[in-house]
């Protein structure tokens, strides 16, 4: 039986409970650039839960159910001075949501989404609150009522608090139940030291996203137009579209004589991402004008669609990009990045479609941008763990490890690098 708490009850809970689950609801816009804001927060501890409206619109009868200024002040101090562990599911979002309302929590926290990823990076496949609670607790999220869905269509997430209340409060309850279910598994993995680092890392990423990165939109637009003109010229010269699956068959298989590397379930040649990775490597080895045109088209197509256009369209009003860094995005433990992906900016080189890309990022006034990268960091760590003396000597003497290995294996340096990291990360033939 759930007992619902008011503001006073939540403050008392924060004064005595060791663990408190907290979930935030926002207006739906980006909280990192100041457009979005906290509309309310829910807390839970065992069967105690409550939803506290902060900045909701008025109820249908015109009444204002938001906390008073005095209640908000006391709640803010109770959260900021809390000595226990706050439990979030997506702390990166919730901590920034709290900050948008002037609540700067600097204390300890757990994040059930990241904990679930540390326990098992493969299951559940989705690390959403619904996915994790269904997997570990056997509970589904609360189904949204017809009134809630109707209100959402009209007002978005900033609906009257009375409509939001039960749905929002239940999210905190689920987060707490999920924490109770996975904390023993988390402790079995002896992850306490890892979690100390993870909390600092989350806060670092929050600060990075909040700051954003400035973009030279004039350069991005110029490169977009330049790339689109080149692609138009290539389509005109080939009389085919290298961006079309049907035309790729004609170009790659019929004209250039490349083999079918993969087929669809229906038996037709496949040109999906995996197949095109093979074809792209084959095209680079072809001393053929058609192959050069296809390579150039695909290079410009990717740069324009994945970089130059998103750099303009995903900007915040202050002219900065704020991508979403996902701390649970890969099974290897690395982050992933989206909207846009700033983790995979192509290296500067002699390819026209990549050459200006890093120049689109510009420093703050009075600052300069520097590019730095660890030299073979992951292989150095692997060498240290394995105690491989031959590799240790190569690193100690400042020689290039992949060049040395490629000479021994009779492979190109890039293929050697791919092979080494594939083995290190447990890759298979597929």
Regarding whether 197 and 55 lie in a shared domain, the answer is: yes
Regarding whether 163 and 78 lie in a shared domain, the answer is: yes
- Predicted confidence at residue 219, as pLDDT, reads 96
Q: Strand 19-26 vs strand 85-88: parallel, antiparallel, or unpaired?
A: parallel
Regarding whether 393 and 326 lie in a shared domain, the answer is: no
With beta carbons less than 8 A apart as the criterion, state whether 129 and 175 touch: yes
Regarding whether 286 and 192 lie in a shared domain, the answer is: no
Instruction: State how many domains the chain has.
Output: 3
- Of 344, 368, 389, which residue sits at a domain end? 344
Residue of 353, 364, 234 lying closest to 289 (CA atoms)? 234
Q: Is the peptide bond before 340 cis (omega within 30 degrees of 0)?
A: yes
* Residue 195 placed within a domain: yes
CATH of the domain at 97: 3.30.420.10
Cα 27 to Cα 61: distance, rounded to the nearest angstrom:
21
- Of 344, 362, 393, which residue sits at a domain end? 344
The CA angle 202-426-273, to the nearest 5 degrees, is: 85
Q: In which residue are the tokens 């949204």 written?
A: 144
The residues near 48 (Cβ < 8 Å, ≥ 6 apart) are: 2, 3, 5, 9, 13
Regarding whether 416 and 337 lie in a shared domain, the answer is: no
* Residue 368 placed within a domain: no
* Residue 60 placed within a domain: yes
Regarding whether 386 and 399 lie in a shared domain, the answer is: yes
* Residue 367 placed within a domain: no
Regarding whether 150 and 15 lie in a shared domain, the answer is: yes
Regarding whether 199 and 304 lie in a shared domain, the answer is: no
On the CB side of 59, how many CA atoms lie within 13 Å of its CA? Answer: 11
Q: Using 70 as the pLDDT threshold, list the residues of the chain that sit under it.
A: 1-3, 60, 140-160, 162, 164-165, 429-430
- Of 302, 324, 344, which residue sits at a domain end? 344
* CA dist list (Å): 268 to 64, 232, 273, 326: 62, 28, 15, 36
Q: Is 429 exposed, middle or buried (0-12, 13-18, 19+ CB in 10 A)?
A: exposed
* Residue 47 placed within a domain: yes
Regarding whether 336 and 231 lie in a shared domain, the answer is: yes
Regarding whether 253 and 177 lie in a shared domain, the answer is: no
* Residue 83 placed within a domain: yes
* Residue 119 placed within a domain: yes
Regarding whether 334 and 387 lie in a shared domain, the answer is: no
Q: Which domain holds residue 121?
A: 3-211
* Residue 33 placed within a domain: yes
Regarding whether 409 and 263 lie in a shared domain, the answer is: no
DSSP helix/strand/coil, 109: strand
């Amino acid at each position: 039986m759930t007992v619902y708490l008011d503001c006073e009850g939540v403050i008392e809970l924060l004064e005595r409970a060791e663990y408190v689950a907290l979930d935030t609801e926002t207006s739906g816009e980006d909280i990192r650039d100041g457009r979005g804001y906290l509309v309310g927060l829910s807390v839970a501890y065992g069967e105690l839960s409550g939803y506290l409206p902060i900045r909701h619109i008025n109820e249908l009868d015109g009444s204002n159910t938001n906390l008073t200024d005095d209640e908000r002040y006391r709640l803010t101090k109770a959260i900021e001075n809390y000595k226990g562990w706050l439990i979030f599911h997506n702390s990166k979002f919730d901590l920034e949501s709290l900050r948008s309302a002037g609540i700067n929590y600097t204390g300890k926290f757990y994040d059930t989404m990241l904990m679930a990823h540390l326990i098992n990076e493969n299951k559940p496949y989705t690390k959403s609150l619904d996915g994790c609670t269904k997997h570990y607790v056997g509970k589904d999220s609360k189904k949204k009522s017809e009134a809630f869905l109707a209100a959402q269509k009209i007002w978005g997430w900033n609906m009257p608090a009375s409509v939001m209340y039960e749905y929002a409060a239940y999210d905190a309850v689920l987060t707490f139940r999920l924490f109770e279910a996975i904390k023993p598994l988390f402790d079995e993995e002896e992850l306490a030291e890892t979690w100390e680092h993870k909390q600092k890392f989350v806060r670092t990423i929050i600060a990075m996203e909040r700051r954003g990165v400035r973009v030279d939109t004039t350069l991005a637009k110029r490169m977009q137009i330049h790339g689109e003109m080149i692609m138009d010229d290539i389509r005109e010269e080939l009389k085919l579209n290298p961006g079309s699956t049907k035309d790729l068959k004609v170009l790659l298989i019929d004209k250039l004589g490349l083999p079918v590397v993969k087929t669809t379930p229906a038996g037709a040649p496949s040109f999906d991402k995996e197949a095109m990775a093979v074809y792209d490597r084959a095209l680079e080895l072809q001393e053929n004008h058609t192959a050069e045109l296809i390579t150039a088209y695909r290079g410009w197509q990717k740069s324009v669609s994945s970089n130059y256009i998103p750099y303009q369209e995903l900007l915040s009003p202050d002219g900065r990009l704020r991508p979403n860094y996902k701390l649970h995005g890969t099974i290897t433990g690395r982050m992933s990045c989206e909207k846009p992906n700033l983790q995979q900016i192509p290296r500067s080189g002699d390819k026209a479609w990549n050459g200006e890309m890093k120049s689109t990022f510009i420093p703050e006034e009075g600052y300069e941008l520097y590019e730095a990268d660890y030299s073979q960091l992951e292989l150095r760590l692997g060498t240290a763990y394995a105690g491989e003396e031959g590799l240790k000597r190569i690193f100690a003497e400042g020689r290039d490890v992949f060049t040395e290995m490629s000479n021994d294996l009779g492979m190109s340096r890039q293929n050697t690098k791919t092979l080494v990291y594939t083995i290190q990360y447990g890759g298979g033939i597929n």
